[in-house]
Structure 1
Amino acid sequence: MNKNKENENTDMVQKQTMYIAVLVSITLGFMIGAAYTSFKLADQGSMAQQMPNMSQPVQSVNSQNMSAETGAKILTLEEFLKKNPDNADAWTELGNLFYDSNRFSDSIEAYEKSLALVPGNPNILTDMGVMYRKNKQPEKAVESFDQAIAADTAFEIARFNKGVVLMHDMNDFVGGIQAWEELVKVNPMAAAPNGELVSSLVEKMKQHE
């Protein structure tokens, strides 16, 4: 009886090790992949044209010092938003700058204000989910990814990221695999940031269930 229990525990450890090995290989890609979804004001319309030009370094800031430049841009946008609090694009760009600065709570707050003005943007919802994850709020991250998926059922990055958070942060391997299976239904050729097909990752994990 004890021998069977020991074998069962060994199998569980091996399965967990397999899952962790797969996730470690793609977790960095999770962050990079989500970062690419960030809303860029250069692609926006008339509201973006009302905003200060953020593409050029602010005067008196060394262009080689990116952290100082980002800080100056943040200050410029914050001043702009005091006079234009209903500019959703500006809140989004502020959230992006906080995102790039790893100011998790500030980024979430800015994204929430943008979404309050213009709800349902899957790009912003996905980036906000990444910030929730970095802020050690995985449940809120999954909630954001679910909202992104509801807004656009074909939005692949939200589905992929949801699977990573469920497995890596919440130890919900069954739920994570299901999230990836849903992604494969949307796009059978969907690939992880390391280039491996998600369908292949799912098969590897299911073999160790």
Structure 2
Amino acid sequence: MKQVIYNLLLTVLLPFLLFGCSRNDTNTKASADAEGSGAATEAKAPYYPGLIQEYESLLVQDPKNLAAIIALGNAYYDSGQWEQAVGVYERALALDPRNADVRSDRGTAYRNMGLPDKAIAEYRATLKYEPGHQGARYHLGVVYAYDKKDYAEAIHVWEDLLRIAPNHPQSESMRSCIVTFRKVVKKDDEK
């Protein structure tokens, strides 16, 4: 009986705790780069040793438990294990291909793995399913700006985001970058 209650808590309550905060805007290399530091930040979500093993063992019992799959992917993501996170998110997307949060997190994991084209594709897929997804739009601009050096596209993406979310947590940073990138684009156009 204790095991049943324990599994219920893992599958029902813990994902709510894990999903309560969006990792996309706070604790990734993308956010650090967009802030201009260029250094990756440590994951701010708490990482509990053994959590990954708990989810893996739960999935042995119920391999299609979507909440547990996503939570496992998030645990890998939060601990900086990008390749493992991508693999687990793939399992989640096989069950729920329209899950915008999983797609966006997978995009950020790709970016942190040094795969900007895959990140862009994932953010675009996220926006296809959820056009107002702020995290995907923000990080799409980050990839264009800092990985692809496509400042015109970064400006376009961030201006769209600022239209739908003028008070986005990164709005000041985006506005500052837009001003700077416009100067760069203008100089490139003058050449």
TM-score where L is the length of structure 1:
0.64
Deviations 1:152-197 (A, max 9, x none): 11111111100111111122222222211221232334341xx616
1:113 partner SS: helix
List structure 1 segments (4+ residues) > 6 angstroms apart after TM superposition. none
Equivalent residue number for residue 196 of structure 1: 172
**Cα separation, partners in 2 of 1:82 and 1:26, compared to 1, 3 Å:** same
Please provide the CA RMSD for this pair: 2.7
- Matches for 1:159-178 after TM superposition, within 5 Å: 159-178=137-156
Query: Residue 138 of structure 1 contacts residue 170 of structure 1 at CA under 8 Å; is this kept in 2?
Result: yes
Look up the match of 1:121: 99
- 1:164, 1:176 within 8 Å by CA — same for their partners in 2? yes
For the 8 Å contact 2:110–2:118, the answer to whether it is kept is: yes
Structure 1: segments with no counterpart, 5+ residues? 1-21, 39-65
Q: CA deviation at 1:204?
A: 3.3
Instruction: Say if 1:125 and 1:148, in contact at 8 Å, map to a contact too.
Output: yes
Counterpart pick for 1:81 among 49, 54, 59: 59
The offset of 1:26, in angstroms, is 6.7
Residue matched to 2:78? 100
**Contact preservation (8 Å) 1:191, 1:198:** no
Q: What is the CA-CA distance between 1:126 and the residue it aligns to?
A: 1.2
C-alpha contact (below 8 Å) 2:152/2:182 kept by paired residues: no
Question: How many residue pairs are counted as aligned between the two chains?
Answer: 153
Query: Compared with structure 1, are the counterparts of its residues 26 and 121 closer, same or farther at alpha carbon in structure 2 (3 Å cutoff)?
Result: farther
Deviates more, 1:173-182 or 1:105-114: 173-182
**Which whole-Å deviations, capped at 9, do the CAs of 1:105-151 have from their partners, x for residues lacking one?**
11011111111111212211111111111111111111111111111
Please tell me whether residue 179 in structure 1 is matched to residue 157 in structure 2: yes
Look at both structures and tell me which one has the larger radius of gyration over its CA atoms.
1
What's 1:25 paired with? 36
Structure 2 unaligned residues grouped into runs of 5+? 1-32, 186-191
Higher relative contact order (CA 8 A, sep 6+): 1
**1:208 and 2:184 equivalent?**
yes
Normalised by the size of structure 2, how large is the TM-score? 0.69
Q: Quick one: percent identity of the two aligned structures?
A: 27
Q: Does 1:152 align with 2:163?
A: no
Distance 1:27 1:188, change over 3 A: farther
